[in-house]
Amino acid sequence: MTIEEAQVTVDKWIKQYGVRYFNELTNMALLTEEVGEVARIMARTYGEQSFKESDNSKQLADELADVLWVLICIANQTGINLTQAFEKNIEKKTTRDNKRHLENIKLK
């Protein structure tokens, strides 16, 4: 599935099952919540925190997909084409950072 197809799929799902998009501020809060769930899994899996009983049903792939879902909702409701935005962002990073990381002694 392309990014464009994902945006269309989310939009169709919202219109068919979700009634309407939550407002932008609600979606921003939901995005923050979902990123927090990713952070919890990362801290417990790769960091020093231990898992709690309530963490057992959480899967990193599912939580990352939740982040992507809400991000797509925000893009759709604000009229952003994520494919174009991402391509432009890669171009910006390539122009700005084309030597930066290669010359970073911390990465060698």
Question: Tens digit of pLDDT for each residue in 42-56?
Answer: 999 999 999 888 888
List the one residue out of 24, 59, 21 whose CA is nearest residue 38.
59
- Among residues of the chain, what percentage have pLDDT more than 90? 87
- pLDDT digits 0-9 by tens, 59-94: 999 999 999 999 999 999 999 999 999 999 999 999
Fold of 3-81: Helix Hairpins (1.10.287)
If you search the block for the tokens 């990713």, which residue do you land on?
Answer: 38
Residue with tokens 């068919």: 16
Which CA distances in Å does 87 have to 3, 18, 64, 80, 91? 11, 29, 21, 13, 6
